[in-house]
Amino acid sequence: MKFDVVVIGGGPSGVQTALSARQAYPEKTIALVRREEIALQIGALPHALASLDSVGDCIFPDYLLSQRDIELIFGHVESCDKSTVRLHDSREISYSKLVLAVGGQPNPLSIVGIDQAGVYAITRDYECLKSVRDALHQARCVLLIGGGCTGVEVCNELIRSGKDVTLVESKPDLLSGLIDPEFGQIIRDELVRTGATVVTGCGVRALVGKHSVLGADLDDGRWVTADLVLLTPPFHPDIRLALAMGLRCDSEHGVFVDEYLRTSVPNVHAVGECASGRSFFSAERQRTILTSEAMAQARLAGSNLFAINVAKSYAGSLGSFSCAAGSLVLGVTGLTELKARSIGLEYVVGLAETIDRHPSKLTGASRVVVKLLFDRGSRQLVGAQVLGGESTGECVNMLAVMVQKKMTDMEIDTLQLGTHPLLTPSPLGYGVMGATVDAARHWSSSEHSTLSRSATAPKTSSVKHSNIDGARQTPRQG
Amino acid sequence: MKFDVVVIGGGPSGVQTALSARQAYPEKTIALVRREEIALQIGALPHALASLDSVGDCIFPDYLLSQRDIELIFGHVESCDKSTVRLHDSREISYSKLVLAVGGQPNPLSIVGIDQAGVYAITRDYECLKSVRDALHQARCVLLIGGGCTGVEVCNELIRSGKDVTLVESKPDLLSGLIDPEFGQIIRDELVRTGATVVTGCGVRALVGKHSVLGADLDDGRWVTADLVLLTPPFHPDIRLALAMGLRCDSEHGVFVDEYLRTSVPNVHAVGECASGRSFFSAERQRTILTSEAMAQARLAGSNLFAINVAKSYAGSLGSFSCAAGSLVLGVTGLTELKARSIGLEYVVGLAETIDRHPSKLTGASRVVVKLLFDRGSRQLVGAQVLGGESTGECVNMLAVMVQKKMTDMEIDTLQLGTHPLLTPSPLGYGVMGATVDAARHWSSSEHSTLSRSATAPKTSSVKHSNIDGARQTPRQG
């Protein structure tokens, strides 16, 4: 077999690369090589456990490839050289351009008793996820190990399906490293409010069982009863193929790529979880973790395969994602306070609290908390964390555009943004503007705004009776 | 009385000007002069008719002014000169800076029989709106005259409260001038689907009644039975005070202002509906109609009163707003095809149709249609119309930022935007990206993408069963 473009990997970044390549190069032949007979929409895995009628609802529709004349080849890649991909069944595929989109592998967890019956890991495999779902039908008490995004959303799903859930995270906060701790606290409070037990800052010492798991001993001596244990292990970049090909890479960050997603070998590109990104802010090498980053890499790789377009270069990883728990949605883009400090950036915080309906008595109202970080020197927006209702995902995307366009607080003040009683905060209380104005109070001081104690307490039940139609800037503590 | 800043007008733009002035000038004394004892949140007026428990729920909370040390003065302004405002009760207020935010006045409608009992206009007056709401309690058949934004949303409210509604608009389309006709058609279909009768391209010849209105003769000879008639008249800028002060203005556009919202008299500013904006694209003088424009003017006027800040200048009116009808939300920013043609701009259209959940079987899924307009020469995004669910308001705000930052299709392709199964289209099917890619097919051709016939038909009921998880680019017609 011979193709102009061969993409290895059937996850979102592999598919997007193939689609973007098709768009940019209508005449080229394109193949996508995939190990899995059935590929899943991996972002939706938590919802395949309960919200969807079956894991089958989560299957990636392969016709998206065939209808754009992209050949889907099933097979394990055994090896690659600079012009040929060899599959385990000895088939060979020669290529002009190769794209590695092989994703990540789960980190092995070293917990005593992890190999017994009743212990499952959430992986991206169809059959595996089906067996988890089947096992959940029988389970009443579930111990969920890992409080990252997947852990939080799986917890949410299990609660909604009536399980008795204990979520254990060894780090001090949920979504650790991804958001600032006060938002981790709000997410934690929300999971607890909906019925979960949440343990943070404490690992699992051992899983204990007889024929099947019965529970866990925690590091602090507590015992958690569970008839099913679910692991949401972190992933690391899969560099096995890259190593074998002699591409520059390391196990922590993945395959090294430039701003056109080219590896150290001229006609080989890499995108997504297996490719090393770099920070949008510090340009330091970092792992590609989020779909938002992986998809941008894929679009740019796909359109830069045969000739680079300087207007389409990768500017570095931003860190945009959303996470839903209970009735709350948390959206994040750019730097958190923790990350800003870690790269030595001096920042100013702006905070606003508002309601996403006006008047707030309209049905469906959610509390909205907006936290913005501005670079102190340039006054550029460098990060945003938003807590709110269903529109939070797109609100954070708007903020992501502002960050990527390096907008200052003064530019944000000139923007014309629409409001609607049933969809957004009031024109006078639009949270993004409120937080921008709040930040302006601090340009010349070293104090930051912090969420007030009352703002960190869950208020969902009182939202509808609130009179706050204008953004309330939260008082400074201390 | 003597204040550093006097704002005349208690609508959103007056209040925002006062709040922004307070923020920029903490030491200045600020007063807001308002005619109405009770001010309403005018964006939410349609919802005061049914969704809210009472018109009282729609009252503007005056404490937003008092808590920021802005004096609220009730009174009719009789006249102004260059340093003093005189009220009808002979009180005088001297000022350093005056801001006119006096809004608009309803255009008188010349319909035979308009003055009889049972005929009401939706105005911004508390008592008037209360009497409309009271009258609606008795009414069964309502004739609604005017198919602009207010008309569409009032129609929606009345349908939800069980009325038999006929909406009549003399222009050929709903939301005429604000959106392209195919979206007007979708909104119309949605109102009809929910139970309204919609008549466009036909005026009302006469309202007919005995002691109270009984119905209307339409221009085409049809008869509409109604026991209540509601008018949503268009407004024009209120320039009475400006004329008396000798400010440069005209009755069509309002008070002429520069990019810092200064009028022809140095210490007098004007904002909102009474102030003449100019087009963001053609720089031609135009009326300020939308809250998004008025609020930006207000923020900029408030912070530029005593010293201008070149980073905070008004770039011209963009035209961002959202409108909800039935289960659909339509959001618009920048140029429509009609407006682009009227200013002689050569454009390229990109279209995408998708679903705002992934997989689409997740509950709450809405169909999403994204139509983008790019300037053919520069490839800058100049306009967007989005039809979708609850997140449409913020999605369009994201697009508004892109338009205001003059982003090209290639820059949009580099963006990192977050997706979430419960909140947005899939990463592979994000409508804004899909429409951007679709536009790229047309740079060198004179053809445009158009909504397919099937795409203009309402599909709400079938959305949940659709298999479309990737953005489907609509086929070209003809």
pLDDT, one tens digit per residue, over B343-366 is 999 999 999 999 999 999 999 999
The residue among B64, B178, B420 with the most chain A CBs within 10 A of its CB, best to mutate, is B420
Q: Which pair of tokens denotes residue A229?
A: 């244990």
Same domain, B273 and B367: no
Same domain, A252 and A206: no
Question: Does any domain span residue B119?
Answer: yes
Q: Pick from B385, B387, B377: which is nearest to B409 by CA?
A: B377
Please determine, for residue A56, whether its predicted confidence score (pLDDT) is greater than 60. Answer: yes
Put simply, the answer to whether B23 touches A437 (Cβ < 8 Å) is yes
Q: What is the CATH number of the domain that holds B130?
A: 3.50.50.60
Residue B116 CA to residue B127 CA, distance in Å, equals 19
Q: For the beta carbon of residue A460, count every other beta carbon within 10 angstroms.
A: 16
**Which residue type does B7 have?**
V
Q: What is the pLDDT of residue A255?
A: 98
Question: Does any domain span residue B64?
Answer: no
Maximum CA pair distance of chain A?
70
Which one of A180, A210, A233 terminates a domain?
A: A233
Q: What is the pLDDT of residue B445?
A: 75
Same domain, A121 and A189: yes
Question: Does any domain span residue A310?
Answer: no
**Which residue type does A415 have?**
L
Q: What is the mean pLDDT of residues A267-278?
A: 96
Please determine, for residue B459, whether its predicted confidence score (pLDDT) is greater than 70. Answer: no
Question: Does any domain span residue A257?
Answer: yes
Residue B129 CA to residue B56 CA, distance in Å, equals 10
| Gap from A472 CA to chain B (nearest CA, Å) | 9
At A356, is the secondary structure helix, strand, or coil? coil
Question: Does any domain span residue B310?
Answer: no
The residue among A62, A363, A394 with the most chain B CBs within 10 A of its CB, best to mutate, is A394
Q: What is the mean pLDDT of residues A1-20?
A: 97
pLDDT band of residue A89 (cuts 50, 70, 90) is very high
Please determine, for residue B239, whether its predicted confidence score (pLDDT) is greater than 50. Answer: yes
Residue A38 CA to residue A128 CA, distance in Å, equals 12
Residue A397 CA to residue B399 CA, distance in Å, equals 10
Chain B residues closer than 8 Å to A314 by CB: 414
pLDDT band of residue A104 (cuts 50, 70, 90) is very high
Backbone angles phi, psi at A442, to 5 degrees: -115, 5
pLDDT band of residue A452 (cuts 50, 70, 90) is low
Backbone angles phi, psi at A225, to 5 degrees: -80, 135
Q: What is the mean pLDDT of residues A150-173?
A: 97
Q: What is the mean pLDDT of residues A266-274?
A: 97
- Assess B358–A contact: CB distance below 8 Å, yes or no: yes
Mean residue pLDDT of chain A comes to 93
- B117's CB contacts (< 8 A; 6+ apart) are B209, B211, B212, B213
Same domain, B177 and B289: no
Range of the domain at B248: 2-35+75-105+236-303
Q: What is the pLDDT of residue B452?
A: 62
Same domain, A87 and A113: no
Q: What is the CATH number of the domain that holds A336?
A: 3.30.390.30
Which one of B182, B216, B233 terminates a domain?
A: B233
Q: Which pair of tokens denotes residue B391?
A: 């997140």
Mean residue pLDDT of chain B comes to 93
**Residue A416: closest CA among chain B residues belongs to which residue?**
B292
Same domain, B331 and B460: yes
Q: Distances in Å between the alpha carbon of B214 and those of B139, B162, B205, B210, B227?
A: 11, 19, 14, 7, 5
Q: Report how many domains make up chain A.
A: 3
pLDDT band of residue B462 (cuts 50, 70, 90) is very low
Question: Does any domain span residue B60?
Answer: no
Q: For the beta carbon of residue B179, count every other beta carbon within 10 angstroms.
A: 28
Q: Which pair of tokens denotes residue A260?
A: 């056109």
Same domain, A283 and A250: yes
- Assess A401–B contact: CB distance below 8 Å, yes or no: yes
Contact of B333 with B318, CB cutoff 8 Å: yes
Same domain, A254 and A207: no
Q: Distances in Å between the alpha carbon of A353 and those of A366, A375, A459, B394?
A: 11, 21, 12, 17
Residue A321 CA to residue B386 CA, distance in Å, equals 22
Question: Does any domain span residue B438?
Answer: yes
A-to-B residue pairs, Cβ atoms closer than 8 angstroms: 284
| Gap from A110 CA to chain B (nearest CA, Å) | 31
Backbone angles phi, psi at A264, to 5 degrees: -75, -10
Task: Render pLDDT for B82-106 as a digit per residue (tens, 0 to 9).
Answer: 999 999 999 999 999 999 999 999 9
The residue among A397, A442, A469 with the most chain B CBs within 10 A of its CB, best to mutate, is A397
This complex has an ipTM of 0.94
Which of A364, A393, A400 is facing B420, going by the closest CB pair? Answer: A393
Q: What is the pLDDT of residue A461?
A: 36
In chain A, which among 36-65 make CB contacts under 8 A with chain B?
41, 43-44, 47, 51-53, 57-58, 60-61, 64
Task: Render pLDDT for A350-394 as a digit per residue (tens, 0 to 9).
Answer: 999 999 999 999 999 999 999 999 999 999 999 999 999 999 999
Please determine, for residue B471, whether its predicted confidence score (pLDDT) is greater than 50. Answer: no
Which of B361, B395, B415 is facing A394, going by the closest CB pair? Answer: B395
Put simply, the answer to whether B467 touches A61 (Cβ < 8 Å) is yes
In chain A, which among 113-142 make CB contacts under 8 A with chain B?
none
Please determine, for residue A124, whether its predicted confidence score (pLDDT) is greater than 80. Answer: yes
Question: Does any domain span residue A474?
Answer: no
Please determine, for residue B470, whether its predicted confidence score (pLDDT) is greater than 50. Answer: no
Which of B20, B359, B413 is facing A44, going by the closest CB pair? Answer: B359
**Residue A316: closest CA among chain B residues belongs to which residue?**
B416
Task: Render pLDDT for B365-382 as a digit per residue (tens, 0 to 9).
Answer: 999 999 999 999 999 999
Task: Render pLDDT for A242-266 as a digit per residue (tens, 0 to 9).
Answer: 999 999 999 999 999 999 999 999 9
Same domain, A130 and A20: no
Which one of A190, A213, A233 terminates a domain?
A: A233
| Gap from B190 CA to chain A (nearest CA, Å) | 17
Same domain, B419 and B354: yes
- B310's CB contacts (< 8 A; 6+ apart) are none
At A206, is the secondary structure helix, strand, or coil? strand
Contact of A213 with A228, CB cutoff 8 Å: yes
Please determine, for residue A476, whether its predicted confidence score (pLDDT) is greater than 70. Answer: no
Q: Which pair of tokens denotes residue B3?
A: 């204040």
Looking at residue A91, what DSSP letter applies? -
Q: What is the pLDDT of residue A300?
A: 97
Q: Is the dihedral of CA A155, A159, A160, A161 positive or negative?
A: positive
pTM above 0.90, yes or no: yes
Task: Render pLDDT for B252-290 as a digit per residue (tens, 0 to 9).
Answer: 999 999 999 999 999 999 999 999 989 999 999 999 999
Same domain, B375 and B447: yes
Please determine, for residue A459, whether its predicted confidence score (pLDDT) is greater than 60. Answer: no
Burial environment of residue A76 by CB neighbours within 10 A (0 to 12, 13 to 18, 19 or more): exposed
Chain A residues closer than 8 Å to B291 by CB: 418-419, 427
Q: What is the pLDDT of residue B390?
A: 94
Q: What is the pLDDT of residue A463?
A: 35
Same domain, B240 and B271: yes
Chain A residues closer than 8 Å to B20 by CB: 437
The structure tokens 């007026």 sit at: B45
Looking at residue B75, what DSSP letter applies? -
pLDDT band of residue B194 (cuts 50, 70, 90) is very high
Which of B43, B60, B290 is facing A421, going by the closest CB pair? Answer: B43
Chain A residues closer than 8 Å to B324 by CB: 420, 422-423
At A170, is the secondary structure helix, strand, or coil? coil
Q: What is the mean pLDDT of residues B170-193?
A: 96
Please determine, for residue A456, whether its predicted confidence score (pLDDT) is greater than 70. Answer: no
